Amino acid sequence: MILPIDKYIYRIYNEHMNRCSYLGGVFMSCENASCSCHCHEEENHLLMILRLGFGAIIFLIALLLKNNPLFIISYLILGYDVIINAVKNIRHIFNEHFLMTIATFAAFILGEFPEACCVMLFYQIGEFLSDYAQDKAKDSIGALMDLRCDRASLLMDGTFKSVPSEDVRIGSIIRILPGEKVPLDGIIKKGGTYFDTKALTGESVPKFFKEGDTVLSGYIAGDSVIEMEVTKEYADSTASKILALLQDEKKANSEKFITRFAKIYTPIVVFLAVLIAVLPLLFGADYHIWLYRAILFLVVSCPCALVVSVPLSFFSGVGCASSKGILVKGAYILEKAAKIKNFAFDKTGTLTDGQFCVRSVKSENLSDDELLKYCAHCEFYSSHPIASAIKDAYGKEIDESLISDYREVPGKGTTAYVNSHKIAIGSADFLKISGGEKNSVYVSIDNEFAGSIKISDMLKPETENAISKLKLLGISSVILTGDSEKNTKEISNILKIPFYSSLLPKDKVTKIDELKKSGITAFAGDGINDAPVLSMADVGVSMGKIGQDAAIESSDVVLTTDNLEKLPVLVRIARKTMRIVYENIILSILVKIAVMVLGVFGLASIWLAVFADVGVLILAVINSLRAFLAGD
């Protein structure tokens, strides 16, 4: 279950709920394994409905009979908890419970018994609907974000026993049954099955894992039983690291603004209400009329729509990103991501997939296909990535019977006899060629130069589309890499973005610092080698390194896969979340100001004030939940 924590903004929950484990402004799960927080939540909702219904019935009877004692009974049934909380938190005098209590007490003093009950009834209805919407939304979002499994089936003395996941040590063997959540990171030792990895990667299609494959905590097993050897303890597991990433309590500037605003705004409103009640009396005005208007002013002054909806918007945005395999460290990162102007990329492994491909073939006397055939046969026994690229480019079956006397010189090249011809493939130095290029391999046949093959990184299939989408969002992209200018220029020309090559890590940091002068700058890299530049960037994004601790610790955002198209999704989610935050702020303030002004001039009643306050609260909460759909 997920519950809001700010006791001055949200409802005060019982002691049992306060023992639930805390995550980034919300309670994610209860420590007491024998209880169901969802049952408590449903019971509380049911009790509140019964209480509101009973109080409303007595209120209607009191209206029909015009019986003041019944109004008081109805009021106490509906608002006893508000009064208790107002008294308990008297030192925080300007909270919403205090405002509602003094407003309704003042209405009783004026003899406006129906209005006093009405204010409390509709206030409680609004709070109930708001809490209900938040609970349901946060339950669904939290289910996606809570990846942990508290129990593990551990092999002990030849049998499997259920134990707390914290008690399992590295090297232990655990069993995962079909449909179970993996509690700890490990390597499959027996069996194989499909795993639902959606909670970590955002990918909807299950992936098959076999013996020897690494499985991360948070995955959900398919229809087969597997046994795995634990490689990380519970506290260091991927699920725990992700929760630590999401647990950052640092507030966004918008949240800080709302907190400061509420602290200043509410006392000012109370002071103005006192002036509205007192000043007209100095000029002989009817105290009953102006005290009534002051009460109305207080009723509508509660900033609960703001203080509830803004954190909820950010929470929904972070939850939306998490559901798509984009792990955001906190609300303040989401706020920064909405303002990104520059996106810098490492090249190898980020824009490219880190695998080599043949870009071009230049042959002296043979056709390009014939040269590739000789090279592919010569490289048949080599496992070097360049050899793999040449064999892939050839793409035909290799006749092993044509190959003899194969030799490989590590870091230099290979030689072999292919169909009785001596073939040598390697660097310019290996073939004693002057002026060679680093991104090409050279070929000789029977000691005569035969041609060259240009090798380069392969762009990821989605790279061009991702860069184009970022451009449509008004974001400039740039490559920062330690690779050579020649290799980088090819990638730069394809993507049509500028580049800086042959950079040391400290040079990348300098470039990021320069880019930051023109606006919020993000950097996407591997999260390990690029830790300094990830820290320097306004938003550091690690690509596809969900199982690596260093990536999680050094990044503001972790993409659970290395799909670059998640970057424009991150920006869209962040921008929509911020739009919703601003919409809620503007809506809440404008409606309250309008009703306050109408109330001062006697053009609004307490009934209208209550409806306006409750209505704005509910609309703001519903609007906040739209952030959960931001990436769609």
pLDDT in tens, 486-531: 778 888 999 999 999 888 778 888 999 999 999 999 999 875 567 7
Instruction: Note the pLDDT of residue 414.
Output: 94
Residue 476 placed within a domain = no
CA 290 – CA 280 distance, rounded (Å) = 7
Nearest to 299 by CA among 57, 133, 128, 118: 118
Kindly report which listed range (26-40, 42-56, 70-84, 476-490) carries the lowest average pLDDT score: 26-40
Model pLDDT, residue 529? 61
Q: In this predicted structure, what is the pLDDT of residue 203?
A: 63
Closest CA relative to residue 244, chosen from 330, 315, 161:
330
User: Smallest Cα–Cα separation from 542: which of 532, 551, 533?
Assistant: 551
DSSP-assigned letters across all residues of 473-521: TT-EEEEE-SS-HHHHHHHHHHHT--EE-S--HHHHHHHHHHHHTTSEE
| Rounded percentage of the chain residues whose pLDDT exceeds 70 | 81
Residue at a domain's end among 458, 492, 508:
458
Structural domains counted in the chain: 2
**Distance, CA of 90 to CA of 108 (rounded, Å):** 21
Which residue type sits at 183? P
Tell me if 170 is assigned to some domain. Answer: yes
Measured on CA atoms in the order 544, 549, 554, 555, is the torsion positive or negative?
positive
DSSP state of 325: T
Per-residue pLDDT at 33 exceeds 50? no
pLDDT band at 32 (very low <50, low <70, confident <90, very high): very low
**77 is written with which tokens?**
């049934």
Model confidence band, residue 259 (pLDDT cutoffs 50, 70, 90): low
pLDDT of residue 262: 62
Mean confidence (pLDDT) of the chain: 81
Give the model confidence (pLDDT) of 320-357 as tens digits: 888 888 888 877 889 999 999 999 998 877 898 877 88
Q: For residue 256, what pLDDT is reported?
A: 64
Q: Which tens digits make up the pLDDT trace of 562-592?
A: 889 999 999 999 999 999 999 988 988 888 8
How sure is the predictor about 629, in pLDDT bands with cuts at 50, 70 and 90?
confident
Q: Which pLDDT value is given to residue 624?
A: 84
The predicted structure's pLDDT at residue 527: 55
What is the structure's pLDDT at 20? Answer: 35
Assess if residue 309 is contained within a domain.
Answer: no
Q: Does residue 599 fall inside a structural domain?
A: no
Active site residue 346: yes
Evaluate whether residue 347 is within a structural domain: no
Name the residue range of residue 418's domain: 354-458
Q: Which of 2-11, 241-250, 252-261, 299-308 has the highest mean pLDDT?
A: 299-308
pLDDT tens digit string along 398-453? 999 999 999 988 778 899 999 999 999 998 888 888 777 777 899 999 999 999 99
Which one has a higher pLDDT value, 444 or 251?
A: 444
Is the predicted pLDDT of residue 277 greater than 50, yes or no?
Answer: yes
Confidence of residue 6 (pLDDT cuts 50, 70, 90): very low
pLDDT at 600: 84
pLDDT for 147 equals 66
**pLDDT (tens digit per residue) in 192-207:** 999 888 766 656 578 8
pLDDT at 632: 58
The values of phi and psi at residue 229, to 5°, are -95, 130
Domain boundary among 458, 474, 500: 458
pLDDT confidence tier of residue 134, bands split at 50, 70 and 90: low
% of the chain with per-residue pLDDT over 90: 34
Residues 45, 331 contacting (CB under 8 angstroms): no
Question: In CATH, what number is assigned to the domain containing residue 170?
Answer: 2.70.150.10
What pLDDT, on a 0 to 100 scale, did the predictor assign at position 559?
86
> How far apart (Å, rounded) are the C-alpha atoms in residues 527 and 200?
17
* pLDDT tier, 26 (very low <50, low <70, confident <90, very high otherwise): very low
Q: Is the pLDDT of residue 557 over 60?
A: yes
Q: Which residue has the higher pLDDT, 310 or 510?
A: 510
CA–CA distances in Å: residue 442 to residues 92, 361, 371, 387, 453: 78, 10, 11, 12, 6
Out of 137-141, 164-168, 230-234, 278-282, which region has the weakest mean confidence (pLDDT)? 137-141
- Best-predicted range by mean pLDDT (207-211, 236-240, 606-610): 207-211
User: In this model, does residue 268 exceed pLDDT 50?
Assistant: yes
For tokens 């090559």, the residue is 501
442 assigned to some structural domain: yes
**Is there a domain that residue 100 lies in?**
no
Specify the CATH number for the domain of residue 425.
3.40.1110.10
Measured in Å, how far apart are the chain's first and last C-alpha atoms?
Answer: 25
For the stretch 391-400, pLDDT in tens is 999 999 999 9
Helix (H) or strand (E) holding 445: strand 440-445
User: What pLDDT does 463 receive?
Assistant: 94
Q: Which of 131, 346, 457, 556 is catalytic?
A: 346
Query: Domain for residue 105, yes or no?
Result: no
Domain end call among 428, 458, 488: 458
Q: What digits encode the pLDDT tens for the residues 144-183?
A: 456 678 899 999 988 999 999 999 999 999 999 998 999 9
Residue 7, pLDDT above cutoff 70: no
